[in-house]
A and B are shown apart, each in its own frame.
Chain A
Amino acid sequence: MNGGGETHHFRRLGVIWAVLAVAFDLVYYFAIGPHVPPGTLTSTASGAQFDFNILFLVAFPVMAAVWVYWAYALIVWRGSKSDLAEPEGGPKSRGHLGIQVGWIATTTVIVLGVFVFGTVELIVPAGAGGGEGPSPIWTPTSHEVLPIQVIGQQWQFTYRYPTFGGFESRQLMVPAGTTIAFHVTSLDVIHSFWAYQLGVKADANPSVDNVAYTTTKQPGAFTVRCGELCGLWHGAMYNFGKVVPKAQFFVWAQSTEHRSAANTKNLPPFAYTYVPDANGANGGYYPDNVDPYSKVETYGATSPGK
């Protein structure tokens, strides 16, 4: 088996690799890709799915190249107990300029390609659902952005809707077909707002307003989990939310606003961040020079106080 020429080995390896890579990529693209998490409930979710799939379609041939070569080498070039002669080694097996330069060039091209692709996919969909901090640099083009505040505290998430009187709810309802700005903050330690099927993840830091954008598509249900270890009951810090049609959302939001009006009065006025007092309840102030309603277009309803 050892006698074959270099081109002979290369040709065989190339054929096995190409067949495997193409076959797997095709199967993956058509059969597996569309089902890859986090699904297609929002623009950022389907963006994440698309990115994951593209990376996988690139990654598999790379992995296959290594695996095919290794499997081939382990079988074809195994030594035997009887044959103690050394293989052909010597200076010329210490390195091959063409192969080394080719390797570096290939990996560099792949890596730069992945980088350019990732950057475009990060910037174009306005941060791709990740937390962008208090002053986002990639903002959505839509003029109708619904702000929803996510408040993390040990060990639950609550949600405030500033455009509906600033009521606070433990239920996260989101209208379909809408661009949403999640303003994520925390009252105590670092949490992470991970709305899995929405393709949104943003850390909740105390005194920080961390903004993440997404645009919902069709109605559906989603899970919210805390994505950053936050203490004892981190594992139990989850709840469920829904994307509902716009009309239904309005009904829910307005009725909840009225129902909880008495409660809302006792809450600290809406702000992007809160400094809790010792009881964690009474605080709340507007940071200097910040008008909570200036950054985003309001959605339908009028701002409280106007």
Chain B
Amino acid sequence: MAIDTRESVSAEHSGHTAPPVRPTRRRPGWLGPHLGRALVGAVGGYAFGHWIGNVIGSGYINVQGSGQNDVAIVLGLSIGVVGWLAGAGMLDYPLAKIAGREPLPPAPSKSWTRYLGPALDHKVIGLQYTVVVLLFFFTGGLLAMAIRTELLNPTSHVFGPGTYISVVSEHGTIMMMMASSIVIGPLGNWLVPLMIGSRRMAFPRVESFSLWIFAAGYLVILAALPLGGFPTGWTGYAPLQTQATGGMDAYLVGFAVIGIGMICAGFNLLATIINYRAPGMTWSRVPIFVWSVLATAALLTLATPTLVAAGLFGVLDRTAQTAFFVNEHGGSSYLWENLFWFFGHPEVYIMALPGFGIVAEIFPVFTRKPLFGYRIAAAGMIGVALLSFFVWQHHIFQSGINPDMRPLFMLTTELISIPTGFIFLNTMGTLWKAKIRYEVPMLFALAMGFNFLIGGISGVFLSDVPVNVTVHGSFFVLAHFHYTIMGGLVFAFFGGLYYWLPKMTGKMMDRRLGKWHFWAMFIFFNLTFLPLFLVGLLGQPRRVFEYAQNLQTLNDVSSVSAFFLGASFLIFVFNFVKSIFLEPKPAPPNPWNSLGLEWQTPTPVPAYNFARIPVVLADPYHYGTSDGQAVADLGPRTLSLAGVVAPAAGALDAQAVTGEEGSADPRPPIA
């Protein structure tokens, strides 16, 4: 059921008489906004933009005879994105407003086709996000296996150097784009309103927009391959960037497009968390996952504009022949490095903090204890977010810029490990004298702790400038950030999926297959990336296709493990398809006996989440108390006591909260 965001509601309240508006006719379904129309719009937009670009640019000296018109490619991609958005119905609302019509909310639908079009329900958008990030993730994963195939042998090659460097760059960029949204997109959008007791996000249309433009970014970055690939890796350093062929435009436009999506998702979450908390949801009761999303959303909103601006500079350098990054013409190759990493380092914590949030959310449930040091956990996340703006130059310690700044950036980088380390204090304190239940989400959360410790400690080595001289730009760095991003964030994400999918889909994931997935992923992840620390220390630079003979054994261990790591995700896909579609096992509303507010809703969660706005009475971590305090007053007919008095009976009666299942949408006014 769609969420009514018509302004007429508030207009009535404020006593204005709205001018008469012409009603918009509803088109037949197949003509309405959906994925197919978006694809048509993208292709049409690309062709149109490309044509305009050729008209504009074919007279340029640098275009004539070069066989490449960057103007056409940039305009093609940009207008293609606009076409995609128009096809997805993202422009309907503003265009209708401009035309003086009353915009229609999306057609109410209970069928699965609502997942193929624009939605205003944060739960639909959350699941759409899940599919898109998994698409990103599996595409990047296949590319990773292509890289590891090439590195099986130090001298004989599977790919030509051009193909190889394109594969490496594409892998890095796709994975970074994916990781920026892997938790914020699916879980952030799906869970945050439920966790804070809201019926909706602050800006549902912006939320839908952020999803569709994120998906457009996937198409744009994939378009880099047919456009010739790009040779710069995900960091896109200029002037190599300026020199590269057409695929580079897809990188720049793609990052800008993804960046716009990140900014939208970020400020939407910020506004929601700050303004849409239910009565009683004070800052000291906000779930720790919401704190992590808050910190991340602040980073998304504040750091990403730098990336978009830098991408614009890059596009101008390549099309309008400006010289932002060209030293010989008064620009600076350091400018890109600084702009990129000024975004790039907060980005690193965008890819870490949500993982902390998930783990801190899972630990109390499966240890049956309150989260240890809640205030410290929240403070740590805010501290990390603040400090992350002051560390970016540690990526360019050897670049020759500002040697006098090195001790400062070494200090800030090492200081950030203090608030980062709070997650270990929280989890270790929670484990103390607990009764640990080894369910699949808990296994992933524990593994995240194991991996992130290695990733975090190796980061301290990298921050030490003298050691950095040896390990910078080597496989040591690569192993380090795969341990933090994949070992940290991706493990946490899958833990979160196993934990929340019963609520999101209403089906239980198979526990045995989940454990198989976990052990395969955990073992082969470590076997893939642990040897790469050594490989880097022994002198193998990143992104090379040839390496020293004596490093072959280690590289081969890593490669073979990487194939098994890739295969472990097949178990997940199999589990997902089997448990959700083939042999669905209905999930009880609260299978883990969690105290979280999101678990006190019926499954499936009704369109408006709560029959009436809940009144929050306590934070969701008071496990192990005998007073049976309720989490929230959810409505006139029930108080939630899940898991407190009688854990076995924690599965709340779904009917108790909303009355009859499937009854008419309450459609309460949104105050």
- Interface on A for B, CB 8 Å cutoff? 2, 9, 36-38, 44, 47-48, 51-52, 55-56, 59, 62-63, 66-67, 69-70, 73-74, 77-80, 83-91, 93-96, 99-100, 103-104, 107-108, 111, 114-115, 118-119, 121-123, 125, 127-134, 136-138, 184, 188-190, 192, 194, 196, 199-203, 205-208, 210-211, 223, 225-236, 238, 275
B444 to chain A, nearest CB (A): 14
The 5 closest A-B pairs by CB, nearest first: A89-B624, A210-B400, A79-B435, A235-B544, A128-B466
Q: Is the CB–CB distance between B543 and A87 below 8 Å?
A: no
Query: Beyond A225-B539, A234-B543, is A201–B472 a contact (Cβ under 8 Å)?
Result: yes
Query: Beyond A62-B457, A207-B327, is A48–B466 a contact (Cβ under 8 Å)?
Result: yes
Contact of A133 among B402, B424, B537 (CB under 8 A): B402
Chain A contact residues, majority secondary structure: mixed
Among residues of A, the one whose C-beta sits closest to the C-beta of B431 is A73
B367: Cβ under 8 A from any A Cβ: yes
Q: In the assembled complex, which residues on chain A have CB atoms less than 8 Å from the CB atom of B431?
A: 69-70, 73-74, 77
Query: Beyond A44-B469, A73-B434, A118-B410, is A66–B399 a contact (Cβ under 8 Å)?
Result: no
Q: In the assembled complex, which residues on chain B have CB atoms less than 8 Å from the CB atom of A275?
A: 328
Cα-based distance from A257 to B434 in the complex (angstroms): 75
Among residues of B, the one whose C-beta sits closest to the C-beta of A84 is B647
Q: Is the CB–CB distance between A232 and B161 below 8 Å?
A: yes
Among residues of A, the one whose C-beta sits closest to the C-beta of B372 is A95
A164 to chain B, nearest CB (A): 25
Q: In the assembled complex, which residues on chain A have CB atoms less than 8 Å from the CB atom of B446?
A: 70, 74
Q: Is the CB–CB distance between A111 and B415 below 8 Å?
A: yes
Q: Is the CB–CB distance between B333 and A88 below 8 Å?
A: no
Query: Beyond A52-B467, A93-B372, A203-B400, is A232–B231 a contact (Cβ under 8 Å)?
Result: yes
Q: Is the CB–CB distance between B404 and A137 below 8 Å?
A: yes
Q: Is the CB–CB distance between A133 and B401 below 8 Å?
A: yes
Among residues of B, the one whose C-beta sits closest to the C-beta of A55 is B461
B474: Cβ under 8 A from any A Cβ: yes
Further contacts, 8 of them, CB under 8 A, given A38-B539, A63-B454, A119-B407: A87-B434, A89-B625, A103-B425, A192-B473, A227-B473, A234-B165, A234-B231, A235-B165
Cα-based distance from A125 to B371 in the complex (angstroms): 46
Among residues of B, the one whose C-beta sits closest to the C-beta of A230 is B240
Q: Is the CB–CB distance between A89 and B243 below 8 Å?
A: no
Cα-based distance from A140 to B453 in the complex (angstroms): 37
Query: Beyond A79-B368, A94-B372, is A107–B473 a contact (Cβ under 8 Å)?
Result: no
B465-491 to A contact mask, C-beta < 8 Å, 1/0: 111111011100000000000000000
User: Most chain-A CB neighbours within 10 Å: which of B414, B422, B454?
Assistant: B414
Cα-based distance from A233 to B543 in the complex (angstroms): 10
Among residues of A, the one whose C-beta sits closest to the C-beta of B160 is A232
B669: Cβ under 8 A from any A Cβ: no
Q: In the assembled complex, which residues on chain A have CB atoms less than 8 Å from the CB atom of B232?
A: 229
B104: Cβ under 8 A from any A Cβ: no
B637: Cβ under 8 A from any A Cβ: no
Q: In the assembled complex, which residues on chain A have CB atoms less than 8 Å from the CB atom of B449?
A: 66, 70
B204: Cβ under 8 A from any A Cβ: no
B545: Cβ under 8 A from any A Cβ: yes
B542: Cβ under 8 A from any A Cβ: yes
B642 to chain A, nearest CB (A): 13
B613: Cβ under 8 A from any A Cβ: no
Cα-based distance from A70 to B396 in the complex (angstroms): 36
Q: In the assembled complex, which residues on chain A have CB atoms less than 8 Å from the CB atom of B470?
A: 37-38, 48, 52, 196, 199, 201
Q: Is the CB–CB distance between A203 and B399 below 8 Å?
A: yes
Query: Beyond A87-B433, A201-B469, is A78–B438 a contact (Cβ under 8 Å)?
Result: yes
Q: Is the CB–CB distance between B469 and A199 below 8 Å?
A: yes
Cα-based distance from A2 to B542 in the complex (angstroms): 49
Cα-based distance from A79 to B500 in the complex (angstroms): 22
Q: In the assembled complex, which residues on chain A have CB atoms less than 8 Å from the CB atom of B461?
A: 52, 55-56, 59
B289: Cβ under 8 A from any A Cβ: no
A to B CB contacts below 8 Å, 16 in the list: A66-B453, A87-B368, A89-B625, A96-B372, A96-B429, A99-B429, A115-B410, A132-B403, A189-B243, A207-B327, A207-B328, A210-B400, A223-B539, A225-B544, A231-B231, A236-B545
B134: Cβ under 8 A from any A Cβ: no
Contact of B397 among A123, A125, A130 (CB under 8 A): A130
Q: Is the CB–CB distance between B467 and A48 below 8 Å?
A: yes
B386: Cβ under 8 A from any A Cβ: no
Q: In the assembled complex, which residues on chain A have CB atoms less than 8 Å from the CB atom of B472?
A: 201, 227
Q: In the assembled complex, which residues on chain B have CB atoms less than 8 Å from the CB atom of A128?
A: 465-466, 469
Among residues of A, the one whose C-beta sits closest to the C-beta of B627 is A90
Query: Beyond A115-B414, A194-B541, A229-B543, is A94–B435 a contact (Cβ under 8 Å)?
Result: no
Query: Beyond A47-B466, A59-B457, is A229–B418 a contact (Cβ under 8 Å)?
Result: no
Q: In the assembled complex, which residues on chain A have CB atoms less than 8 Å from the CB atom of B460?
A: 55, 59, 114
Q: Which of B260-268, B373-381, B560-568, B573-581 contacts A (4 or more CB under 8 A)?
A: B373-381
Among residues of B, the one whose C-beta sits closest to the C-beta of A207 is B327
Q: Is the CB–CB distance between A107 and B421 below 8 Å?
A: yes
Cα-based distance from A119 to B467 in the complex (angstroms): 11
B99: Cβ under 8 A from any A Cβ: no
Q: Is the CB–CB distance between A236 and B239 below 8 Å?
A: no
Query: Beyond A89-B625, A231-B231, is A130–B237 a contact (Cβ under 8 Å)?
Result: no
Cα-based distance from A9 to B429 in the complex (angstroms): 13
Query: Beyond A227-B472, A227-B474, A236-B161, is A189–B239 a contact (Cβ under 8 Å)?
Result: yes
Q: In the assembled complex, which residues on chain A have CB atoms less than 8 Å from the CB atom of B233?
A: 229
Query: Beyond A38-B539, A55-B460, A115-B414, is A190–B239 a contact (Cβ under 8 Å)?
Result: yes
Cα-based distance from A28 to B373 in the complex (angstroms): 35
A139 to chain B, nearest CB (A): 11
B512: Cβ under 8 A from any A Cβ: no
Query: Beyond A73-B431, A137-B403, is A192–B544 a contact (Cβ under 8 Å)?
Result: no
Q: Is the CB–CB distance between B428 and A69 below 8 Å?
A: yes
Cα-based distance from A69 to B545 in the complex (angstroms): 41
Among residues of B, the one whose C-beta sits closest to the C-beta of A203 is B399
Contact of B648 among A84, A188, A192 (CB under 8 A): A84
B285: Cβ under 8 A from any A Cβ: no
Cα-based distance from A233 to B548 in the complex (angstroms): 16
Q: In the assembled complex, which residues on chain A have CB atoms less than 8 Å from the CB atom of B401?
A: 133
B199 to chain A, nearest CB (A): 30
Q: Is the CB–CB distance between B414 and A89 below 8 Å?
A: no
Q: In the assembled complex, which residues on chain B have CB atoms less than 8 Å from the CB atom of A85?
A: 435
Query: Beyond A73-B432, A79-B435, is A86–B406 a contact (Cβ under 8 Å)?
Result: no
B554 to chain A, nearest CB (A): 13
Q: Is the CB–CB distance between B436 and A107 below 8 Å?
A: no
Cα-based distance from A121 to B418 in the complex (angstroms): 22
Q: In the assembled complex, which residues on chain A have CB atoms less than 8 Å from the CB atom of B23?
A: none
Q: In the assembled complex, which residues on chain B have CB atoms less than 8 Å from the CB atom of A79?
A: 368, 434-437
Q: In the assembled complex, which residues on chain B have CB atoms less than 8 Å from the CB atom of A114?
A: 414, 460, 464
Residues from 105 to 163 in B contacting A, C-beta threshold 8 Å: 161-162
Cα-based distance from A136 to B161 in the complex (angstroms): 36
Cα-based distance from A275 to B547 in the complex (angstroms): 32
Q: In the assembled complex, which residues on chain B have CB atoms less than 8 Å from the CB atom of A74?
A: 431, 436, 446
Among residues of B, the one whose C-beta sits closest to the C-beta of A204 is B400
Among residues of A, the one whose C-beta sits closest to the C-beta of B466 is A128
